[in-house]
Amino acid sequence: MSELKFPTLSRYRIMWVWALFDLPVLTKIERKNASQFRNDLLDLGFQMVQFSVYLRHAYSKEKADAIAAKVGACVPESGHVQVLFFTDRQYQLTQSYHGKATSGPTREKPDQLTLF
């Protein structure tokens, strides 16, 4: 009986996909297109970090590339979107600062994919 082989998960292979965008919202149609794009990102499994910055986990660079292609297919004609890739190790080094006026706890990083 052969053993099941699972890919080795490495902090240097696991990716975080960031979608950063600037979409025009001057007209009603542009606002509708921008809202649709944000909803498309949510449907693709992204989480909102800031209003025009979304984040998603991917288990490999190949999966991250496939996600980026799906994002590209959703971009409105008059929009500008950049997709950035970070390894899990690079993302771990992220430093997050919040204004001194806020006294609540800092936001935790999103949960990673959990395998059995």
pLDDT in tens, the chain (116 residues): 556 665 666 777 889 999 999 999 999 999 999 999 999 999 999 999 999 999 999 999 999 999 999 999 999 999 999 999 999 999 998 888 878 765 555 566 666 655 55
Place of tokens 């297919």: 73
Q: What residues have CB less than 8 Å from 84, skipping those under 6 apart?
A: 17, 18, 20
Structure tokens at 22: 């600037």
- pTM for the whole thing? 0.76
Dihedral sign for Cα atoms in the order 23, 28, 29, 32? positive
> If DSSP codes are grouped into helix, strand and coil, which group holds residue 87?
strand
Structure tokens at 39: 């909803």
Distance CA 85, CA 71 (A): 13
What pLDDT score was predicted for residue 87? 93
What pLDDT score was predicted for residue 13? 81
